[in-house]
Amino acid sequence: MILDLLRHGETELGGGLRGSLDDALTPTGWAQMRAAVAAVPEACTWQALVSSPLQRCARFAEELGADLGLSVQLEDGVRELHFGDWEGRSAAQIMQGEADLLGLFWADPYACTPPGGEPVGEFAARVQASVQRLAQRHAGQRVLLVTHGGVMRLLLAQARGLPREQLLQVEVGHGALKSLAVEAGRFRELT
């Protein structure tokens, strides 16, 4: 399976850790996603369209699906990491009271869970299980997955063979589009 990963665009409530918050895209966010898809070569045709259920992904997927004549499969396992008490807060806001904890999280997100949040190891297992289900369901197909920065960082870090401490060093901007080959439970980044 070829898996094209599209990160949602800018959201109404702005920066910070969005996690499981369900805010909508801004007009700029819609434009970022439309521009990413418009830049895809004509030869690239998706046979399936999958999305996180959060509206910042799903609303765009629904629009694109209508344009392409594809139904949208909502996949709960590719929703963003739940940041617990840090959701909706910027790094600067978190630094004011929890600088040490935030530093530990940035240094090794697998070893430090935000207060009340989802452990990154559980997040990774959830995302990998979802992608494996997609690979079984769509073997030999090209699939567009509309998802989140954390999901994309995780899959790209694995494809690049990065150590877990480098997870948050993977850059994934709003509207970023990246491609992976999924083969026998392994990921390989395509250029």
State phi, psi for 131 to the nearest 5 degrees. -65, -40
Taking only the tens place, the pLDDT of each residue in 83-141 is 999 999 999 999 999 999 999 999 999 999 999 999 999 999 999 999 999 999 999 99
Rounded to an integer, what distance in angstroms lies between the CA atom of residue 188 and that of residue 172? 17
Taking only the tens place, the pLDDT of each residue in 138-154 is 999 999 999 999 999 99
> Which class is domain 2-190?
alpha beta
The pTM of the full predicted model, rounded to 2 decimals, is 0.96
Q: Where are the beta strands (DSSP E) in 84-185?
A: 142-147, 177-183
**Sign, Cα dihedral of 82, 84, 86, 89:** positive
Helix (H) or strand (E) holding 48: strand 48-51
Q: Locate 97 and state its tokens.
A: 């009271």
Q: Parse the chain into domains and list their residue ranges.
A: 2-190
Residues with Cβ within 8 Å of 99's Cβ and at least 6 positions away in sequence, in order, are none
* pLDDT value, residue 43: 63
Taking only the tens place, the pLDDT of each residue in 50-89 is 999 999 999 999 999 999 999 999 999 999 999 999 999 9
Write out the catalytic residue numbers.
8, 80
Is the Cβ–Cβ distance between 180 and 187 less than 8 Å? Answer: yes
